Structure 1
Amino acid sequence: MTGAWADALQRVMRGLRADRFFLVLLAALVPLALLSPIPPGGYTALVDWPTIAALTGLLALTKGLELSGALDRLGHWLVASLPTERAAALGLVSAAALLSTVLTNDVALFVIVPLTLGMCRLTGMPATRLIVFEALAVNVGSALTPIGNPQNLFLWQLARVSFGAFVWHLLPLVAALMAALLALTAARFRGQPIQVMPADATQPLDRSLLAWSLALYGPFLIATDLHQAGWAVAGVLVLFVVVRPAVLAQLDWGLLLVFVLMFIDLRLLAGLPAVQQGVQSLGLGQPVNLYLAAIGASQLVSNVPAAIALAEYSQDWRVMVYGVNVGGFGWMVGSLANLIALRLSGDGKAWLVFHRYAIPALVVASVLGYLLLFGAAWY
């Protein structure tokens, strides 16, 4: 296995050298380090290690499913079941949104994107565009429930309202955005019948690897939800080292490095005195200012840190939850799910396609959120 790990290291290094987002983060670290009062020795404390642990475990389990051949076979079944490219796109986008309401947006992508890649290899459908639409879908779907994404969970705990009350507040925004997304999906994918590409063969099914991967999924998610992500990922990694070390050799370790560096950069930026003073001068006691600040902050530091930061200045969860969920669109940093989807796509230019749709989506969602919030009786 030494050769496999050497190949994996070379693959990671090649990927990072070609990863423009990683290079931008690396370049930004230099001025941030000079401006920040935090010493380099404190950078490890800026990383959200439970998130990194959860991401590592999900990467390993999804790679296990992929290498087992199960997703390939499921892709063949979908091709045989769905009559047209439009139907396939609508089905996958809807499934991504639905899964994200209960499994969180990140987990939904780890399930849907590998399946999408396999199906697109079979059919020649535009994989990158479909994955971008799925990224938009999980941002929409996860906004509906308190457990759909981390910022909702945080704000739900802050609000101390019932599950149903939280869902009812977000329902108009999510329903409108989902209707718009499905209409756009129907328009951007053709109604022609799906055809399997020539010379395609079904990947052999590794039943043992499939069984291990599926058996670990539930306990891993439960342990992570109980804030034991470190122990959970340790168990997953040890088991794969024993039963299938090739799974770990093929993980996207570069994605983990990108997330570590992103946490450091964004939290150094958020900790700058000038940034903190700027936030204090925004007049966040005004609901409109709070809404716009939540959207803008999400574009800079992503919506989870934005929610945590703004909660220091306001208790108005109704406005904040709209703002940070709308802020998941637009710039790819707006939501960590965006970065995961783009990385899993394997397309170095996927970010161009993403912004072609996500920036207009941010404009539409911002206007819609504004109308729903400030036309309501409580304001």
Structure 2
Amino acid sequence: MSISLTISAIIFILIAARQWLPPAIRIWHIMTLGAAALLALGQITFKDAFFAVDWDLILYLFSVFSIAAALYDTGISAQISKRILSRQTPNTMLASYALIMASCAALLTNDAAAVIGVPIALLMARDLNWNAVPLLILLCATVTVGSMVSPIGNPQNILIANAGQFDNMFLVFVQWIFIPAAITMLFSILWLKRFLKVDKSSHEVGIQPSTDNQITQKWPPLLSTALLIVLIALGNVLHGIEGIYLPTLGQIGLLACSPIYLASDKRRRVLREVDWTTLLFFVSMFIVTGSLLESGSLQLLLHGSEINLAEAKTVTFVSFFASQLFSNVPVVEIYLNLLHKKETQTLMMLSAISTAAGNLFIISAASNVIVLQQAEKFGVKPFNFWQFFLLMLPVSLISVAVSYFYIIYFGSL
């Protein structure tokens, strides 16, 4: 076993045992120390570590964090929460919240939906006296499932859409993945609502925007949100047209959040409220993953065996389990490079299962980590590793099974 793989396993174990560690130790501490250890031991050079980081994604997350902080401070998140709470029954409230967050994930990526959805979930938990943990876990499930149906819903889908060179990538993803995603979404709501118990302490959480130094200009964050949606939509309409420069997600994010930093009278407040520790977590995670990939562990497993990488069972098994250790984005990137023939069914299976893999463990998807750390930022004790695993295990199994059999069925038509 390589040193990189050993340290990655230690990181995984420490995150799993975090609930028994001192409260001061956060998940970003563990990942950052792991990255530092790999650098100190020479498992990855500083130059390679720098290029292992997806800086475009970091810029996009920074932009989304900025927009979400401004939306919260202007009270817009509270208004969305009140609109959801105006529904007549708890079931319709949950369904409305899940559909809004799933749609947000499909349009703006699952990471953006996770950032925006946390304060709304905490406000709902406070007003309904619900335990926040299952509601936050429902948020994780819905943004992951919602991102499955869109070629821009998550980074691995973007890689697959580019590799597939589809004439209409949105239509292809909807045809192959919408039905299993809808079934998984319905099951997630019905399953997780059973754990929404009354918690009298939830109303004590200080999740209301403060009246002191509160941002009163609502148009900059609203304009930023609109710009983000329009620019992403425009980029996908123009996708595939030669001779047109298409900005990256990071560039789109920076342009979208520019009204906040150029026109808002509280730009410094927003900058302070950006979740810098979560950004540090992701920088460290990319370094750890880069070291793993340099060790050749996954490449040796896939290329060294004589398995048919295009076979549906192989795609399902490898993309699901490898994503738990190596993260789904690098797994998909390597898998695409090793595929000799990129058939639509193979690509859709790789997309659906690698995304569904994010529902098993906290660190299986970036959006899960964002939800956890955003909740801690608001002073809320979120879910731990084992709470997440036990509640999400049925969701993971249903998602993988339904996706597998439906894609096999649809591919045979």
1:167–1:228 Cα change, 3 Å: closer
**Of 93, 98, 111, the match for 2:98:** 93
The residue that corresponds to 2:10 in the other structure is none
Cα deviation for residue 169 of structure 1 reads 0.9
TM-score normalised by the chain length of structure 1 = 0.82
* CA shift digits 1:307-364 (9 cap, x unpaired): 1121011223132122212212112222211111122222454233322222332223
**How many matched pairs?**
360
The residue that corresponds to 1:67 in the other structure is 73
Query: Structure 1: which 5+ residue stretches go unaligned?
Result: 1-15
Q: How does 1:114-263 map to 2 (within 5 A)?
A: 114-161=119-166, 162=168, 163-189=170-196, 204=211, 208-220=216-228, 226-227=247-248, 229-230=250-251, 231-232=254-255, 235=258, 238-239=261-262, 243-263=266-286
**Of 55, 58, 69, the match for 2:61:** 55
Cα deviation for residue 281 of structure 1 reads 2.7
The residue identity in structure 2 corresponding to 1:177 is T
1:76–1:317 Cα change, 3 Å: closer
Provide the secondary structure at the position in 2 that maps to 1:318: helix
1:234–1:344 Cα change, 3 Å: closer
Q: 2:132 & 2:89 partners in 1: Cα distance?
A: 15
The residue that corresponds to 1:4 in the other structure is none
* CA shift digits 1:180-210 (9 cap, x unpaired): 11321443346x9x9x959999865957432
The residue that corresponds to 1:317 in the other structure is 347
**Of 390, 404, 412, the match for 1:370:** 404
Provide the secondary structure at the position in 2 that maps to 1:148: coil
Query: Structure 2: which 5+ residue stretches go unaligned?
Result: 1-21, 236-246
Aligned 8 A contact 1:90 1:186 in 2: no
Over the matched positions of the two proteins, sequence identity in percent amounts to 21
1:351 pairs with 2:384: yes
Q: 1:177 & 1:202 partners in 2: Cα distance?
A: 34
Q: 2:81 & 2:224 partners in 1: Cα distance?
A: 22
Aligned 8 A contact 1:35 1:272 in 2: no
Aligned 8 A contact 2:98 2:142 in 1: yes
Q: 2:34 & 2:268 partners in 1: Cα distance?
A: 35
Q: 1:341 & 1:198 partners in 2: Cα distance?
A: 20
Cα deviation for residue 33 of structure 1 reads 3.9
Aligned 8 A contact 1:19 1:348 in 2: no
Q: 1:198 & 1:129 partners in 2: Cα distance?
A: 18
RMSD: 3.3
Cα deviation for residue 113 of structure 1 reads 1.9
Moved more, 81-90 or 256-265: 81-90
Provide the secondary structure at the position in 2 that maps to 1:327: helix
Aligned 8 A contact 2:221 2:257 in 1: no
The residue identity in structure 1 corresponding to 2:393 is I
* CA shift digits 1:269-308 (9 cap, x unpaired): 1221333212213422433112211111211222222211
Moved more, 172-181 or 257-266: 172-181
